Amino acid sequence: MMTAESLTERVCAEPVGAARDAAFDHALDVLRDRRDEFNSQRYVPADYIALLKRAGMYRASTPAVFGGEPMAPSDFMSLVERISAVDPATGWVSSFGSSLVYFAALPAETQRKIYAHGPDIAYAGGLFPMQEAQKVDGGYLCTGVWQFASGCRGADLIGIGLAGGPETDGKPLTALVDPADVEIVENWDVAGMKATGSHAVRADRVFVPEEMTFVRGGLPQIDEPLTRYPALAYAAQVLAVVTLGAARGALDYAIEVGAARTSITGGASKGNRPAYKSGLAVAEAELRSARAFFYESTDRVWAKAVAGQHISTDDQALLRLSATHAAHVGRSVVLQVFDLAGTGAIYETHPLQRYLQDALVPAQHAMLQTNTYEAAGALLLGLEAGIPSFP
């Protein structure tokens, strides 16, 4: 049974400043050495999650009132972007350091108990499909299988999705469970984002106390700037920024290779070819433009959250639009770099394969698919989005 008291003492982040920065740099160095291992085993292990905790990634959305050090979205996402430039799949897992914003909808006392042993919590959510749970005294008996629980092999808490009822006005619930109380079904057989370990989760009559459930994106019980920032838009953004990082990693590789004096055949270097130079420049301009729109939108809405100002539907629509655009442009940039690389890039061991396979995935996510362009446009025109829970 999952209770707030059942959480054990956790790894803590290094102090802010030089020690925290050194912990982050160390995590990147280790990732360069181990990313092939993570990809091969199809998950980021708990010992590496511990390094990200020491770097502060898993207290970045814990409320300050509970000992967290909530980061401005741009600051957090720039770290995810840097991780993703080394390994996008690990960046995807690290991005869920933002997801504790959902916990703000839990009763305040529950939050206090969850964070009693420290603010550094790795959370994974396997929310779909929403399952009907049996309502019993004090909570729910949960049975079912939930898909796409990214990072579940290294999580301290796992969320599962429950269909809502009259008590939630029909809104779906997330129930928090102890990873020891559920089975991880290893079905993550994919071509891209292998290391995210987005396996399924199976529960069999697991009891979850009512106070350990919340409406995803529900009304926060804690009022801080990060709990005022649109939670569902943030969820889309932290996935989109992974693609920006993947594109950066691919472009950096193209620049390094293009700067070589000669090619493998001894002829003129690739960088001296007109198509390579112009292709690289166009890709760089497209990535930087999408990135500027992404972070400008973020910072404008964050300023409103800090000031306690109203965040409008148009504000949220632009957040979602900039996220979708980042995911699609980032994917396009990686494909452009792949074209520049030539025949060698088709081999599985080629460095660009990591970015190519992983960068295709975020734009396939329901929060970033092509139809979200239309939904954002509809809202900017004062029309209905046509997509549930948008923006």
Distance CA 132, CA 159 (A): 15
CA pair distance 297, 305, nearest whole angstrom: 13
Q: What is the DSSP letter of 314?
A: H
Amino acid at residue number 198: S
The pLDDT value recorded for residue 126 is 93
Residue ranges per structural domain of the chain: 4-114, 123-215, 229-380
Q: Do 141 and 133 form a contact (C-beta atoms < 8 A)?
A: yes
Give the tokens for residue 324: 């979708």
Per-residue pLDDT of the chain (391 residues; tens, 9 = 90+): 555 444 445 799 999 999 999 999 999 999 999 999 999 999 999 999 999 999 999 999 999 999 999 999 999 999 999 999 999 999 999 999 999 999 999 999 999 999 999 999 999 999 999 999 999 999 999 999 999 999 999 999 999 999 987 777 778 999 999 999 999 999 999 999 999 999 999 999 999 999 999 998 789 999 999 999 999 999 999 999 999 999 999 999 999 999 876 665 666 678 889 999 999 999 999 999 999 999 999 999 999 999 999 999 999 999 999 999 999 999 999 999 999 999 999 999 999 999 999 999 999 999 999 999 999 999 999 999 999 889 9
pTM of the full structure? 0.95
How far apart CA 206 and CA 219 sit, in angstroms, is 26
In which residue are the tokens 């933002």 written? 98
Q: Which helix (H) or strand (E) holds 212?
A: none
CB within 8 Å of 2: residues ≥ 6 apart: 157, 175, 176, 177, 178, 181, 206, 208, 209, 212
pLDDT at 378: 98
Are the C-beta atoms of 284 and 198 separated by less than 8 Å?
Answer: no
CA 262 to chain centre: 39
Domain 229-380 belongs to what topology? Butyryl-CoA Dehydrogenase, subunit A; domain 3 (1.20.140)
Provide DSSP, 20-87: HHHHHHHHHHHHHHHHHHHHHHTS--HHHHHHHHHTTTTSTTS-GGGT--PPPHHHHHHHHHHHHHH-
Task: Assign 208 to helix, strand or coil.
Answer: strand
Question: Would you call 197 helix, strand, or coil by DSSP?
Answer: coil
CB atoms within 10 A of CB 351: 15
| Residue 388 pLDDT | 87
Tell me if 160 sits within 8 A of 181, measured CB to CB: no
User: What architecture is domain 123-215?
Assistant: Beta Barrel (2.40)
The DSSP symbol for 240 reads: H
Domain 4-114, what architecture? Orthogonal Bundle (1.10)
pLDDT of res. 192: 98
Stretch (H or E) spanning 116: none
